Structure 1
């Protein structure tokens, strides 16, 4: 009898846990309560998500305000491209004319010249300035002396912070007739009198050179950031295999930043019709106007100086639509070739 009592007592202690109080479950805890679990918070509620990431949303706020005020709010005025806008009547009071301004623009004799000048300048910038940005980034990436690298980076970044007015003034000082040092050097070297500032044949090379000097160094920032993510073990393996510096760049570096190059190329193609107003306007004169007139300057002359607000808005809207089509088309083409696109 005593053995049976001891066996029952041992079984009860094993089932309820040693030293457990009556009415408790395993490990001495009340039944129905799960240990170590925090109260469940609903994940789908935006308020909970916002409270958790409130500081990130606060950092995002200035950018949202900027785009809302300066990018999206002005879209309301795009409607005047389809109206005969009269300032005294306002946007809502002006009469609808449909696509009349677009028809006038496409039938304008200046349209082929404007399109040709814009595309030529954009193509020169894309074919010359864009590859030079990548080449400069590759050269900077190969510099191993830290002080030299930082010094060169600083020197090539500085021109980006100069306004186009200063760049144009420097160009006039350097290439001024008879007194410009570069004018005297070029004419002494070639033995002929060349008016670089006014000659139509020199306008496009001068614009491209200005763009290279001002923006190439600044454009290397993105590519240098992409170069820093390339796996260094691949370079070590290539060196062991006997690959030279050029082969390492061609087979490791460029494939490593291919996606960045494609994204930047898509964005550059989307901006082909935006040649920039300030630079072109400052370098334009009566002698080179035949090759200097582009869509940006045309919008200024027609819209601001002549008061054709609806017509100039139609020209700007045409540029924007073409830019969107180019971005989507280039992105689709990149996807077809199994490359990472913009989206």
Structure 2
């Protein structure tokens, strides 16, 4: 099969398609013939040599995919059979013509969505679901400040926060992105290039602050995050795009707010945790993706590239121009 490959860490130009062995599904696994796979920041970091896959995971890029079941491995207990459409949460391997998936990490494709749209759901939406419901314990009436609000996780978190009865606020780098995310349900947005989002958040909440902050930036945002965190608020850190170093009185300022700093990653979680998260998401959230229903949830797809243009897709992601997900369409073999 063909798979995205790179021989040494570096820029997008290092990516190419390589003919590699097709995976064989082991006990409890399903072989998925991939139709599409969405790009994630983790793919960019792995390509740069800054994010190694977890032990035992495929070294091929791709944390989410959609397609059709090609083969069911021994010992599978679930409903999957050859030919059924599915979408999958992966620890790696999605940017290839086939990928082997634990059966508990598969989900049905929601009614009314294409396989290209479905590929934009698993990693981004399960991450947002985990951050809000499992880690952040969101409840109705909470104000949720979502950094990178126009990203795949951001656009998912806005819709999930709104569904939970919370008030989603976002940060983004342009007024066009803010306007687009407001159409998805964000109550307000703040352009971090033009002003201080912490001041804007406090002004919007009349001094109360954000009950939950979803933060993929890290070091460069810490002081502003604490400044606009509500008393007893939850600051949920899930990325370090703004660096890992903190200089200043973080602990004293966080303690004064009685704030909680919570951290979370999804890729490195064990298979049992992921299967339980997938099951909860499938039960609680997936029915709301049915496009025949009013106010249906929807994945936001910005751009679609053929797999052979994977280098262009990575370069586009690094320019931070996308609103929502960048998806690779894969030409699968028989």
TM-score, normalization by structure 1? 0.23
Query: Quick check: which has more Rg, 1 or 2?
Result: 1
The structure that is strand-richer by fraction is 2
The structure that is helix-richer by fraction is 1
